[in-house]
A = this chain, B = another copy of it.
Amino acid sequence: MPFDTTIAALKSEYGDRCATSDAVRDHHANGEAYHAPVRPDAVLFPGSTEEVAQIMRICAAGNCPIVPYGTGTSLEGHVVPLRGGVSLDMSRMDAILAVHPEDLDAVVQPGVTRRRLNEDLRDTGLFFPVDPGADASMGGMAATRASGTNAVRYGTMRENVLAVEAVMADGQIIRAGTRARKSSAGYDLTKLLVGSEGTLGIITELTLRLYGQPEAVASGVCTFDSVKGAVDAVILTIQSGLPVARIEFLDELQIRAVNNYSKLSLAEKPTLFLEFHGTDASVAEQSERFGEIAAEFGGGAFDWATKAEDRNRLWRARHDAYYAVKALRPGSHGYVTDACVPISRLAEAILETKKDIAESGMLAPVVGHVGDGNFHLAILIDPQDRDELKAAEALAHRIAERALEMGGTVTGEHGVGMGKMKYMAAEHGHGYEIMRQIKRTLDPQNLLNPGKIVDLN
């Protein structure tokens, strides 16, 4: 084993918190993505930033790769330790260090998950809006520049991480950004680390932007006769500047999956899940305006979920969409992909995608944070069937290529991981070489999540 000496050194320093059992290593061999798992040589459970820095230095001395791991819910193979080494499980660094209601921010360790943060915040009247489907960790969400259903109104991790502390490849600790709302003081290292997928540094603390819980919330469901009608309603909603808090598209197959999995009884039609935030008056005004837009595009009556309980059930169902899809075909894997296009191209992008799905013969519901121009596919495949895997790859490839042709991006929120690396040169041109130069400079030994985003070997 190439890293024996390093692992032995870590074991002697960290004891039980350096796990080498098969079970723990298997658990850290992949996330939820369809990618071949690779076992790390050891899984480390650091308890502090100083320990992360020490682990980094020990790994550097032994040329041992180190792959940060949050909740293992990533969808593009980000956490697969491709070259073995250490999987750095951040779950024990899960303290909420400070909440500053007066400044609308919170300082947290990376292992805090989004649900726990919001449970903790409930009594303060504040909330953190970024909500990928899974109950992901803040560190993982920042590393993958995650977003979710609220991004159309509140932004993604890009907009909502004010500052980070990180351990760099040289074992040094940096603090990027401050608690001030804005700054022009030099290069934006916070934004460079957000979305870097653990390849430039290990995030050990985050300062997050919080928002006041809206006084009034209205959620509801609106069904359409056609996909085009639903998406065109979204486009006009965004173009008209309606400050919708959430606007989610689910196609008829996704609705069937959600009905089964989450015990709902929605009409199996192209559907929008919506939410409006504001005062009583402004929420009423927004809902009315949306109703007018929906009616223009053949939308049915807008079904309100007025009780908090019903609202939570609706959004929980939306967040569980991926699990619901997998349940459509027991034993299947979901080959998941996402793309994001300028909003004006969204209807075309989704309709062409639906055509591709039909031609492929695959089971693949379409769902999306359509207010951002972002949509997802979970293509259900039998993991043993090479032909199905190939067909899924071909389908995902068409979606990525089309997104680029439309002036969009091959991933709106899932990240690059292993799955999207092949498109980086096409999307970024010479910019990809600039990314490679940055990676080479900040991680000259190529130890931080090697083989992701850019490959130096």
- Checking B185, B239, B430 against A428 with a beta-carbon cut-off of 8 angstroms, the contacting residue is B185
| CB-contacts of A68-119 with B (<8 A) | 100-105
Contact, CB under 8 Å: B183 / A412: yes
Q: Does A396 contact B (CB under 8 A)?
A: no
Q: Which residues of B contact A175 (CB under 8 A)?
A: 428-429, 431
Q: Which residues of B contact A192 (CB under 8 A)?
A: 187-188, 191-192
- Checking B180, B372, B433 against A182 with a beta-carbon cut-off of 8 angstroms, the contacting residue is B372
Q: Which residues of B contact A100 (CB under 8 A)?
A: 342, 344
Q: Does A178 contact B (CB under 8 A)?
A: yes
Q: Which residues of B contact A341 (CB under 8 A)?
A: 180
Q: Which residues of B contact A185 (CB under 8 A)?
A: 409-411, 415-416, 420, 423-424, 427-428
Query: Which of A188, A239, A240, A416 has most B Cβ within 10 Å?
Result: A188
Contact, CB under 8 Å: B239 / A184: no
| CB-contacts of A107-160 with B (<8 A) | 144-147, 151, 155-156, 158-159
Contact, CB under 8 Å: B438 / A184: no
Q: Does A414 contact B (CB under 8 A)?
A: yes
Q: Which residues of B contact A279 (CB under 8 A)?
A: 282, 285
**Interface residues on chain A, size class:** 35 or more
Contact, CB under 8 Å: B435 / A189: yes
Q: Does A451 contact B (CB under 8 A)?
A: no
In whole angstroms, what is the CA distance A189 to B454 when docked? 14
Q: How far is the CB of A112 from chain B (nearest CB, A)?
A: 20
Q: Does A241 contact B (CB under 8 A)?
A: yes
Q: Does A233 contact B (CB under 8 A)?
A: no
Q: Which residues of B contact A176 (CB under 8 A)?
A: 428, 431
Q: Known: A241-B212, A427-B178. Is A196-B191 also a contact (CB below 8 A)?
A: no
In whole angstroms, what is the CA distance A440 to B441 when docked? 9
Query: Which of A372, A409, A410 has most B Cβ within 10 Å?
Result: A409
Q: How far is the CB of A284 from chain B (nearest CB, A)?
A: 9
Q: Known: A103-B342, A184-B411, A342-B103. Is A434-B442 also a contact (CB below 8 A)?
A: yes
Q: Which residues of B contact A407 (CB under 8 A)?
A: 178-180
Beyond A181-B412, A188-B188, 4 additional contacts (C-beta under 8 Å) are A168-B434, A172-B433, A182-B340, A282-B285
